A and B are shown apart, each in its own frame.
Chain A
Amino acid sequence: MTVDPNAATQGFPSPDPSHRRPRATRYLVPALVAGAVAVVLGVYGKVHDPQGTTFNLVGFSSTGAVKSWLATVSIGFAVVQFVSALMMYGKLPGPGWASVLHRWSGRIAFLVAIPVAVHCLYALGYQTYEPRVLWHSLLGCFFFGAFSAKMLLLRSERLPGWMLPVVGGLVFAALTVVWLTSALWFFRTFGVTT
Chain B
Amino acid sequence: MKRSGPLFTLLAGLLLALFMLSLNATTGTRSSAAGDESSPDVASPSAAPTSPSPTPGTRSPSPGPSRTTPPNGDYAGRTDDDSSAVAVSLRDGKAIAYFCDGRDQESWLKGDVEDDGSMRLTSQKGAVLTGELNGKRISGTVDMGQREYGFTADKALKPSGLYRATASVRGAAVDGGWIVLPGGRQVGILKRDGTPSAAPRIDPETGAVTVDGQQLTARPVTP
Which chain A residues have a beta carbon within 8 Å of chain B's beta carbons?
Answer: 49-65, 103, 106-107, 110-111, 114-115, 117-119, 122-125, 127, 129, 148, 150-152, 154-156, 186, 189-191, 193
Known contacts A119-B20, A119-B24, A190-B41; 11 additional CB pairs below 8 A are: A52-B38, A52-B81, A53-B29, A55-B37, A56-B33, A60-B34, A61-B43, A62-B39, A65-B43, A114-B17, A115-B16
The answer to whether B42 and A117 have CB atoms under 8 Å apart is no
Q: Is B145 an interface residue (CB 8 A)?
A: no
Q: Is B71 an interface residue (CB 8 A)?
A: no
- A107-B37 CB under 8 A given contacts A61-B42, A122-B24, A127-B81: no
- A127-B38 CB under 8 A given contacts A152-B6, A191-B45: no
> In chain B, residues 67-122, which have Cβ atoms closer than 8 Å to a Cβ of chain A?
79-83, 103
User: How far, in whole Å, are A114 and B23 apart by their CA atoms in the complex?
Assistant: 14
User: How far, in whole Å, are A122 and B19 apart by their CA atoms in the complex?
Assistant: 13
The answer to whether B43 and A64 have CB atoms under 8 Å apart is yes
User: How far, in whole Å, are A191 and B131 apart by their CA atoms in the complex?
Assistant: 28
A-chain residues with CB within 8 Å of residue B195 when the two chains form the complex: none
A-chain residues with CB within 8 Å of residue B20 when the two chains form the complex: 114-115, 118-119
Taking chain B's interface residues, is the majority helix, strand, or loop, or is none over half, making it mixed?
A: loop
B-chain residues with CB within 8 Å of residue A124 when the two chains form the complex: 81-82
22 contacts between A and B (CB under 8 A): A51-B24, A52-B149, A52-B150, A53-B38, A54-B24, A54-B38, A56-B35, A56-B38, A58-B57, A61-B43, A61-B48, A62-B38, A63-B37, A63-B39, A64-B39, A111-B12, A111-B16, A124-B81, A151-B9, A155-B2, A155-B4, A191-B48
The answer to whether B44 and A56 have CB atoms under 8 Å apart is no
B-chain residues with CB within 8 Å of residue A155 when the two chains form the complex: 2-4, 6-7
Q: Which 5 A-B pairs have the closest CB atoms?
A: A52-B80, A191-B45, A52-B150, A151-B6, A63-B38
The answer to whether B43 and A193 have CB atoms under 8 Å apart is yes
Instruction: Encode contact with A along B3-29: 1 for CB under 8 Å, 0 otherwise.
Output: 111110110110011001101100101
A-chain residues with CB within 8 Å of residue B149 when the two chains form the complex: 52
- A193-B48 CB under 8 A given contacts A58-B34, A65-B40: yes
- Closest approach, in angstroms, between the C-beta of B85 and any C-beta of chain A? 13
